[in-house]
Structure 1
Amino acid sequence: MAKYKVGIISLGCDKNRIDTEIILAKLKHSYEITNNPKEAEIIIVNTCGFIESSKQESIDTILEMADFKTKYNCKVLVATGCLTQRYGKELMDIMPEIDILLGVNDYTNLIEHIDKFLVDKEKVIKCEYQNETINEGERIITTEGHSAYIRIAEGCNNFCTYCIIPKIRGKFRSRKIENIVKEAKSLCESGVKEIILVAQDTTKYGEDLYGEKSLVKLIRELSHIESLKWIRILYCYPEEITDEMIEEIATNEKVCNYLDIPIQHISNNILSKMARKTNKESILNVIDKMRRRIKDMTLRTSLIVGFPGETEEDFEELKDFVTEYKLDNLGVFTYSREEDTPAAKMDNQIDEKIKKKRQKEIMSIQKEVSKEIKKESIGKSYEVIIDKESEDYYIGRGRAMAPDIDGLVYINKTIKLELGTIVMVKIKEALEYDLIGVVEDELS
């Protein structure tokens, strides 16, 4: 008997991607996996529900896939993830096209739910995800085969006033070091060379399990994996970056000299309203400290403009920071007024036109900063991992480039290269966000 074909669409962050990869591993034994939704008899949408734009994308995707019930082969439409956890039955009521609705990581009995629906057509709603659990286990990697994310913790205890994540994902809880190392070894045995550590706040890793910050200890354990070449760390809250962590990045050859530090703003007025656990002086101090100690340190951050009560003075302070501190990579979001968050109830909400104008101004400044930084790369040589191949170029990333969010390195095809190879590339040309170069030496 032929197996049903199942396809899955993953929306949102890299932590959602990991959930999707766990789901795929559970499904592969019972169904045939397809990347073409037109072929799929079972379609799963793993949703995001973080901000308004991501909610809308999730809703649009569910509705688009619902049309496949009449246009193509779809017999079962499943929605899971953050949006479904956040709205539950309410979402099913306004979108009756959904057949099975599961909350965050409520997919333990997914196959059972699907098989039952195929027989009796009885809809399923299950949003019972417990925030004491962490979903772990076998994954089918959906990134390039040589690069993979590893979630080291779930949930968040920060309760920033604009953020709904703690209510969706629950309290912060770390995975055991031995489980993470086991997963990393398995990934590396399958060809992975770059591990990207993610959590809502990676710098708090281990506090709940071991009574102290344990990210450095975890990194040292991972570094013993011989075939692992790069360790990249994302989402480090600046107030939690310790001297020990800075020293580890500076001295451990496997750790990329790269951090994502989501500061959100630089004005103490706004940082206080956001309930961030830091201030301008501390943020500047840790940036200066990292730049002094770590050679070629690359910093990425994310900012929010148009937060309630953001004055022109606050915004000018933010512009001055972006201009003066010249961070390598920067994303700017307009404040999204999310129900059930303290910020949604604040006075002095900012008009959308002003938010977008401020976003455009910051990005315009950063564009010039990025041009200036990229020009400094001309004539220098960097390790680059080869991700893709086009007709004219190999396309890769340096240690200063996280996948999907930062720039790329385009490499002239002077020699034959395999995907996943790490090579030394000399930069010949700089664009706004990307680099162009030639291979000097093949490393691995």
Structure 2
Amino acid sequence: MKVRSLKKDKVNIITLGCSKNLVDSEVLSGQLAANDIAVVHENKKLDHNIVVVNTCGFIDKAKEESINTILDQVELKRRGKLDKVYVTGCLSERYRGDLEAEMPEVDAWFGTMELPLILKRFDADYKKELVGERFLSTPQHYAYLKISEGCNRTCSFCAIPLMRGQHVSRTIEDLVAEAESLVKKGVKEIMLIAQELTYYGLDIYKKRELPRLMNALADVKGLEWIRLHYAYPSKFPMEILDVMRERDNICKYLDMPLQHASNNMLKAMRRNITREEMTELIHEIRKRVPGICLRTTLIAGFPGETQDDIEELKSFLAEHRFDRVGIFNYSHEENTSAYDMTDDVPAEEKAARAQEVMEVQQEISYEKNQEKVGKVFKVLIDKKEAGRYLGRTEFDSVEVDNEVVIHSKKKLQIGDFVQVKITKAYDYDLEGEVTEP
């Protein structure tokens, strides 16, 4: 008769989707570890016996990846390689009822705000004193800082409020304490993330307080770069720009998703802004923060979009010459207001339009990068691959933006800042050599 091993549980957390999900996984890891439960992230050794899949439910492609990942883990369980499979995150929040019926092999499903319930499965307590403490799954020198949860916006294409609820800001005191804790762990760069940064503070302070938060974080000793992601353009709080200009450790970088430039599309998407207002805002941003890097994301193939709308979008890009652009193909999401519209742009056409737009941006990016040749930039070393170092300037965020390929005969330390003279430039990357201080 076989006797089951009394080997201690080891939990592997698999994270899919955005950086906000990554932070949730890091918080879960910290809570499990504080309860003396062994935990790893994206474990390749397969020496764990329990898996938590933190899913994404944002668009079709992300949902498909989440479902395939769950099925892979269920198969490992069927083969006796795992004892338990738990699922959490946005997909689970949104489709729990359907998924439970289709995948009975999953041991439990949890929503986006049910961390204490996940811990109960491990006979673990939620430790409130650990708020802000987490196990970093990023390299030691950078981390994401989630300043709020949820969103009050009503963009017609977006299902995030269905999965994450209404906007809830964290207090400035909690965020500063977390930033100080991250710096003690060796973090030099934090990226502020939220579904909507510029709304920060309205719920708890009754006014927009992102500028005050930025100043408080900029005072944290040892924090060398603070980067802003996901700022909503409508009713943009201009004070952000003054703080960015005045504080040396706030990167001159702004990620502001615009989604489109055609007024027809902006109205249908319920973006509460016009092309003309966006143009005025962009000019004001660049006036107040000379040299700022502007990143935006766009959507191709929204219901009713025509080739004329795409031409407007291309002319908008040519006019404003953004430093960084990303584009998504529209995904028809249940229970959004756009779901009542006819998804009338075929998938192939969405992809073709996205490619058309990105070809315009590719040329702009190449030209902007060529202007950097011969100039010296402060660069953060992220990693070493194939005998060369890869880093980023203050104008580049992790994974989504340019990398700087660094040639150096001397050994460089990951997480250090170095001065790099740019020697070559490509569409989306740079090459350079370390210069002596």
Q: Same fold (TM over 0.5)?
A: yes
- 1:342 and 1:109 map into 2 onto residues whose CA distance is 31
> C-alpha displacement at 1:50, in angstroms?
0.7
Q: Aligned to 2:257, what secondary structure does the other structure show?
A: coil
User: 2:38 matched to 1:32?
Assistant: yes
After TM superposition, the structure 1 = structure 2 runs for residues 95-134 of structure 1, keeping only pairs within 5 Å, are 95-114=103-122
Candidates 2, 14, 22, aligned match of 1:17: 22
Write out per-residue CA displacement over residues 368-394 of structure 1, whole angstroms, 9 at most, x where no aligned residue: 111111111101111111110124211
Q: Aligned to 2:211, what secondary structure does the other structure show?
A: helix
Residue 75 of structure 1 aligns with which residue? 83
Write out per-residue CA displacement over residues 407-436 of structure 1, whole angstroms, 9 at most, x where no aligned residue: 111111222221110111110111221111
Residue 322 of structure 2 aligns with which residue? 327
Residue 285 of structure 2 aligns with which residue? 290
After TM superposition, the structure 1 = structure 2 runs for residues 175-190 of structure 1, keeping only pairs within 5 Å, are 175-190=170-185
- 1:176 and 1:425 map into 2 onto residues whose CA distance is 38
**Paired AA for residue 153 in structure 1:** S
User: 2:13 matched to 1:5?
Assistant: no
Residue 123 of structure 1 aligns with which residue? none
**Paired AA for residue 40 in structure 1:** H
Residue 207 of structure 2 aligns with which residue? 212
Q: Aligned to 1:67, what secondary structure does the other structure show?
A: helix
Write out per-residue CA displacement over residues 286-325 of structure 1, whole angstroms, 9 at most, x where no aligned residue: 1111222222210111100111111222111011112222
After TM superposition, the structure 1 = structure 2 runs for residues 148-187 of structure 1, keeping only pairs within 5 Å, are 148-187=143-182
User: 2:354 matched to 1:349?
Assistant: no
Q: Is the 8 A contact 1:38 1:68 kept in 2?
A: no
- 1:318 and 1:10 map into 2 onto residues whose CA distance is 33
Q: Aligned to 1:322, what secondary structure does the other structure show?
A: helix
Q: Is the 8 A contact 1:204 1:240 kept in 2?
A: no
Q: Is the 8 A contact 1:181 1:222 kept in 2?
A: yes
**Paired AA for residue 368 in structure 1:** E
Q: Is the 8 A contact 2:332 2:343 kept in 1?
A: no
User: 2:59 matched to 1:51?
Assistant: yes
Write out per-residue CA displacement over residues 238-265 of structure 1, whole angstroms, 9 at most, x where no aligned residue: 1233332111112211110100000000
Residue 127 of structure 1 aligns with which residue? none
Which region of structure 1 is more displaced relative to structure 2, 190-199 or 289-298?
289-298
> C-alpha displacement at 1:37, in angstroms?
5.9
> C-alpha displacement at 1:103, in angstroms?
0.8
- 2:7 and 2:392 map into 1 onto residues whose CA distance is 41
- 1:414 and 1:286 map into 2 onto residues whose CA distance is 45
Residue 404 of structure 2 aligns with which residue? 409
- 1:72 and 1:437 map into 2 onto residues whose CA distance is 50
- 1:308 and 1:112 map into 2 onto residues whose CA distance is 44
**Paired AA for residue 304 in structure 2:** G
> C-alpha displacement at 1:146, in angstroms?
0.7
Q: Is the 8 A contact 1:19 1:105 kept in 2?
A: no
- 1:108 and 1:17 map into 2 onto residues whose CA distance is 17
Q: TM-score, normalised by structure 1?
A: 0.92
> C-alpha displacement at 1:439, in angstroms?
1.2
Percent sequence identity is 41
Q: Is the 8 A contact 1:161 1:273 kept in 2?
A: yes
Q: Is the 8 A contact 1:247 1:293 kept in 2?
A: yes
Residue 139 of structure 1 aligns with which residue? 134
User: 2:102 matched to 1:94?
Assistant: yes
- 2:55 and 2:381 map into 1 onto residues whose CA distance is 30
- 2:203 and 2:120 map into 1 onto residues whose CA distance is 34
Aligned structure 1 segments of 4 or more residues deviating by more than 6 angstroms: none
After TM superposition, the structure 1 = structure 2 runs for residues 222-241 of structure 1, keeping only pairs within 5 Å, are 222-241=217-236
User: 2:396 matched to 1:430?
Assistant: no
Which region of structure 1 is more displaced relative to structure 2, 171-180 or 322-331?
322-331
- 2:78 and 2:395 map into 1 onto residues whose CA distance is 46
- 1:97 and 1:431 map into 2 onto residues whose CA distance is 48
**Paired AA for residue 26 in structure 1:** Q
Residue 299 of structure 1 aligns with which residue? 294
- 2:80 and 2:44 map into 1 onto residues whose CA distance is 11
Structure 1 pair 350–240 and aligned structure 2 pair: CA distance change class (3 A): same
**Paired AA for residue 405 in structure 1:** V
> C-alpha displacement at 1:114, in angstroms?
4.2
Write out per-residue CA displacement over residues 307-355 of structure 1, whole angstroms, 9 at most, x where no aligned residue: 1111222111011112222111111111100011111111462222221
Candidates 384, 393, 402, aligned match of 2:388: 393
Q: Aligned to 1:178, what secondary structure does the other structure show?
A: helix
Unaligned 5+ residue runs, structure 1?
117-132
Which region of structure 1 is more displaced relative to structure 2, 63-72 or 95-104?
63-72
- 1:419 and 1:72 map into 2 onto residues whose CA distance is 39
Residue 126 of structure 1 aligns with which residue? none
Which region of structure 1 is more displaced relative to structure 2, 396-405 or 33-42?
33-42
Q: Aligned to 2:226, what secondary structure does the other structure show?
A: strand
- 1:251 and 1:52 map into 2 onto residues whose CA distance is 42
> C-alpha displacement at 1:105, in angstroms?
2.8
**Paired AA for residue 38 in structure 2:** E
Q: Aligned to 1:88, what secondary structure does the other structure show?
A: helix
Q: Is the 8 A contact 2:133 2:181 kept in 1?
A: no
Q: Aligned to 1:89, what secondary structure does the other structure show?
A: helix
Unaligned 5+ residue runs, structure 2?
1-5
Give the root-mean-square deviation of aligned CA atoms: 1.7
Residue 338 of structure 1 aligns with which residue? 333
